[in-house]
Structure 1
Amino acid sequence: MKILLVEDDPLLGQGIADALTYQSYIVEWVKTGKQAISFANASQFDVIILDLGLPDRDGLDVLQELRNNKILTPILILTARSTSGEKVTGLDRGADDYMVKPFDVPELMARLRALQRRESQQKSSIITHGSIEINPANFSLSQYGKPIPLSRHEYDLLLHLINRPNQVFSREALVDKLYNWDNEVSSNTVEVYVHHLRKKLGKDIIKTVRGIGYQLGSTSE
């Protein structure tokens, strides 16, 4: 899961970013509303975590501009503002969830997983595809009931494809999902992960769409 974290407090922002990274999420951390809009327009994220007390503009205005720009990414407001009126305003302007500081990290992680399930229209916490079962709560995968170890990026790539089974992704789009902007990525990185996934889960798990990129394939029932 790739997350845009918008938080101006350096200690809290670093703590959230570290917790998300520890859970194998890809994190882009920005500290202003202007940066939030720029990053959201330039890249695709699975969830945006948005603080409201930003130094350059109110987070609710940032939220409104993101929605006006047709950015439909799930947005979780994370703020010290706790009145019911402010919660209602945030949700009415297009937020998908609202958490009040201070908060528990496990609850934040559970809410992020719930937003991802909602976005992919998955109702169960366990994601299935043929003989494969994925549990996002502990980043585990099994096939025919047997645990299959995956690297972080193998897992992220497969989950991204499973959540969008009919979509074809270019190599560039997949690199954007797997890495943040600080990483240097070799030219054959995606091909290497696809090769590993095919070797572990079957050659048909990912289809190559010639001249375009990759799409979720089939797996034996």
Structure 2
Amino acid sequence: MNVLLIEDDLDLGDGIRLACEAEGHRVCWVRRLADAKGQILAHRPDLLLLDLGLPDGDGHSLLAWLRTHEAMPPVLIISARDALDERLRGLDGGADDFLLKPFALKELLSRLRALARRSYGLQEGALSLGGLQIHQASLRVNLDGQPLELSPSEYRLLELLVKRADRVLTRRFLEEHALGCSQAESNVLDVHISSLRRKLGEGYIRTVRGVGYVIERPVKPAAPA
């Protein structure tokens, strides 16, 4: 996963970065809110580790800012603020989890894995959704247990859509982050989406007219009364 770490403490930040990288995550570490916003807009991280007390503002303000932007990533707050009201404020403000400092790095990594499973269906280096399973380490994709042959561009598009399932991704976002281009007048994206649909079959990729595309998680049937 691409993890954005927002922490101003040098020793703690370095320890978290090294521990996350040892787990195979790619980590971008910033120490200010302004830098965090720039990274989020430019690179769309998969997950945020957010300290609340930062040199240029409070982490709660970043949560409020995130709610106004497309595809808000999961957020794990890491803070020494142990008051119940503070924790509730963070969770009610959009954070997915709250970990009190000081903490063991093993617990932090465990929380990250749990958050990835809840948010992206991540299981042992794989993304899963319905009959799809994406093995990120080997760049392999299976559909209903059978291998699916995809081009590199198709793989990147599918991985991005599955990682952000239930979130509408704009054409511009997909062009820039999956295809490495921004060509609103071109039909390159449409060609790749059309090819993906042929290979996946019906029921996976939905067009949101005038905006972009989304893959939605299957709705679980209600338990019998």
1:173 to 173, 177, 200: 177
Specify the alignment match of 1:83 in structure 2: 83
- Deviation string for 1:21-50 (max 9, x for gaps)? 111111111101111122112221111110
Distance 2:127 2:58 in 1: 37
CA change 1:53–1:142 in 2 (3 A) is same
Distance 2:70 2:128 in 1: 30
Structure showing greater relative contact order (alpha-carbon pairs closer than 8 Å, 6 or more residues apart): 1
Distance 2:165 2:92 in 1: 30
Distance 2:26 2:192 in 1: 20
Structure 1 segments unaligned to the other structure (5+ residues): 145-155, 177-209
**Shift of the alpha carbon at 1:173?**
1.2
- Deviation string for 1:145-204 (max 9, x for gaps)? xxxxxxxxxxx968656546898985751488xxxxxxxxxxxxxxxxxxxxxxxxxxxx
Distance 2:95 2:71 in 1: 12
The answer (yes or no) to whether the contact 2:134–2:159 under 8 Å persists in 1 is no
Distance 1:131 1:46 in 2: 19
The answer (yes or no) to whether the contact 2:33–2:59 under 8 Å persists in 1 is yes
Counterpart of 2:65 in 1: which secondary structure? helix
Specify the alignment match of 2:39 in structure 1: 39
Q: Which moved more, 1:161-170 or 1:48-57?
A: 161-170
The answer (yes or no) to whether the contact 2:71–2:164 under 8 Å persists in 1 is no
TM-score by length of 2: 0.60
- Percentage identity across paired residues of the two chains: 37
Specify the alignment match of 1:99 in structure 2: 99
Q: 1:69 is aligned with what amino acid? A: H
Distance 2:132 2:178 in 1: 24
Counterpart of 1:8 in 2: which secondary structure? coil
RMSD across aligned positions (CA): 4.0
Distance 2:122 2:23 in 1: 22
The answer (yes or no) to whether the contact 1:40–1:71 under 8 Å persists in 2 is no
- Deviation string for 1:79-131 (max 9, x for gaps)? 111111110011111111100111122222222222222223x3977755769
Specify the alignment match of 2:213 in structure 1: none
Specify the alignment match of 1:23 in structure 2: 23
CA change 1:172–1:68 in 2 (3 A) is closer
CA change 1:91–1:21 in 2 (3 A) is same
The answer (yes or no) to whether the contact 1:170–1:214 under 8 Å persists in 2 is no
